[in-house]
A and B are shown apart, each in its own frame.
Chain A
Amino acid sequence: MKTLADLKKIREKAQEEMKLRGSNVRIKIVVGMGTSGIAMGAREVMKTFLEEIANRNLTDVIVTQTGEKGLSSMEPVVDLIEEGKAKVTYGNMTPEKVKKVVVEHIVNGRVVSDYVVATGE
């Protein structure tokens, strides 16, 4: 390493590894992982999110989880929280639907209204 530009490259890569601790997050994906969510396959849904995000090298998206959301009939339920926008809640998620949400909503910024079960706070 010989220049500040080299250092910057290393820093950017290292920051990517540390993004969970950082504040540089555009979209937060919250997967409902209550008992009914897990029973309906929430873990698969979450794993698919993690894989898709890693595959596409999305550095400003984090996946986290929460407990029962009270929408048991629509599990697995996932919230997408974007800075400055209304929260979007997707229901009856499957790994296939996850892939579509990642492409459409997270990458292209278009809400996949077919899967939406609620919006706003």
Chain B
Amino acid sequence: MSLKRIDLLICCGSGCVSAGALKIKERFHEVLKEKGMENEINIIETGCMGPCDYGPVMVIYPEGIFYKTVTPEDVSEIVEEHFIKGRPVARLMLSDDERTFSVQKEVPFYQKQIKVALANCGYIDPESLDEYIATGGYEALGTALTEMTPQDVIDVMKAAGLRGRGGGGFPAHIKWQMVHNIQDNEKYIICNGDEGDPGAFMDRSLLEGDPHRILEGMMIAAYAIGASQGFFYIRAEYPLAITRIRDAIEQARGLGLMGKNIFGTDFNFEVEVRTGAGAFVCGEEMALIHSIEGERGNPTPKPPYPATQGLWGKPTVVNNVETLANIPTIMVKGAEWFNTMGTQTSKGTKVFAITGDIRNTGLVEVPMGITLRELIFDVGGGMVGEGKFKAVQLGGPSGGCLTVEHLDVPVDYESLKERGAMMGSGGLIVMNDEKCMVNVAKFFMEFCVEESCGKCSPCRIGLKQMYEILDRITKGQGKEGDIEELQRLGESVKMLSLCGLGQTAPNPVLSTIRYFRDEYESHIRDHSCSTKVCLDLMNFNIDKSRCIGCSLCARKCPTNCITGSREEKYVIHQLECIKCGNCYDVCPVNAIDKIPGMHPEMKEYRAKLQAQKDLDD
């Protein structure tokens, strides 16, 4: 007999867990036990609810009250006030200047979102097969198996126009059709969960938050192409995702949804989980296939495509996690419904992981064709702090930066590509005007240098050269012609590399040169970093008119490069300064300024060194 009257959904996505969600859950159990209310309240761990910045977050049904940044100390109050007396705790609700948002669906963060892939994420208990079934789970699979032919399934996908969500945007139905057409008794379906872009966590959240959906999507794909064996390739850094998928497979088996004669048909399916060791290049489908085979994760030339010669030389379809997540809903609601969302060429929705200098960092799902402005300022809540919007980096190390002038660009595969960025897997990093674009390009280049598998020399050597030029520029040793050299190298690497990694790795550099060339030029010509990020291209200076001679900066300086007295005031000796910023932080009267550009003393010193070096040579 169920006496439950409240469903307490605690977000246990990785963001909220690291903010302490599990402790809160424990505390709820304790408090409810004390009050003898355990049988009245369901405590449910869900996947990521999205607004990670406000974690730990929770939603309380039947009202749908949304609480943010809950601490273990708040638990008693929630139980006492909300659960017993029915008075939701207003101070834990999200609010802006004008009003408080009590119910989840009122929260502006959710308003422009349409959740398809993420529909259950943060709504059901990902460890419960029953809850997935309650939301209509496995109905799509059952209908496909019992009432449709594989070709019917492919036709639905074709009409829907679902494109690969992992980055490339290749239409899913074309791959399916190719493999479907090949006669072979061994075919494979692989779920690519090797999400590696810095700042991206869409696939992880889906696998953790709604594992059965991915499994169902995979099984529908398997039926369509005629495969009876599937593989999940998930990186080992995602232990929770791996556990959840493994559990989901076992639960499905328990119910007869895995194994032989599923839904009483002659469709058989088995699936295995393979964990990746975290190499970025293994997200590339050929490298991924080799990694599953037990070989070194290196890309090989295409063609032959995986569709003809994939895993162990057999026809194989590789689909991204989010692509698979869309399939069950498309099958249930139909292609026509899917086509109501998106643009001419890009249908449906896209999940983004929004991070950076933005108020609502987290996981969002928006219809394709939404403008960057809506995505960043409405869904993302705008910039955090004083900084102004400067650039947005889309598509991780393969993508590019877009600027203020692109804010009204619709987010779809083609529009982004035209402007030098790409959809990528959906990582979106928003940057304010305190970020140095040369440094950003250097960061992504360093990542690609590390992650290049080394097979093709343009990528292995070219990227390293590009990195070194960028490094020199940020250290004030840039030369005339560096920008052109970066462009030449970048174009060559793009043209001559075998796989997607090399073909896209120069994008962050090329796009920042395209839109922020003046910043590169001022680094090279004026030895000045206007954002004061590149330490060699800025200096700290004490303004004597404001200095009160307290000596605090001199005492805190680790290299003793600040001297002076109460009368004389203090001064920084530039040649010894290591730019640690201690003095800037401790000055009680803010008399220390960060100034863009290399200090004249330093310039003179470097010139002298160079002259000496030239003489020696």
Contact = CB atoms under 8 A, between A and B. Distances in A.
A20 B263 contact: no
Interface in B243-287: 255-257, 261, 263-264
Contacts of B123: 21
Interface in A31-59: 31-35, 38, 43, 46-47, 50-51, 54-55
A20 B3 contact: no
B263 A15 contact: no
Nearest to B9: A21
Contacts of B4: 20, 50
Interface stretch (B133-141, B405-413, B459-467, B537-545): B133-141
A64 B133 contact: no
A38 B142 contact: no
B15 to A, nearest CB: 22
Interface stretch (B80-88, B161-169, B351-359): B80-88
B328 to A, nearest CB: 13
Interface residues of B, number: 35
Given A18-B134, A51-B3, A2 B86 contact: no
B138 A7 contact: yes
Given A18-B134, A20-B4, A51-B1, A65 B62 contact: no
B1 A55 contact: yes
B45 to A, nearest CB: 14
Nearest to A21: B61
A31 B86 contact: yes
Interface residues of A, number: 36
B131 interface: yes
A64 to B, nearest CB: 5
Given A34-B85, A51-B3, A10 B62 contact: no
Nearest to A37: B85
A15 B461 CA distance: 58
Nearest to A54: B1
A67 B87 contact: yes
Contact of A2 (B6, B87, B131, B263): B263
Given A1-B256, A17-B2, A18-B131, 13 more contacts: A2-B263, A4-B139, A4-B143, A14-B130, A21-B61, A28-B62, A43-B84, A46-B5, A50-B5, A50-B40, A54-B1, A64-B86, A65-B86
Interface of B: 1-7, 9, 40, 42, 61-63, 84-87, 123-124, 130-131, 133-134, 136, 138-139, 142-143, 146, 255-257, 261, 263-264
Closest 3 CB pairs of A and B: A65-B86, A14-B134, A14-B130
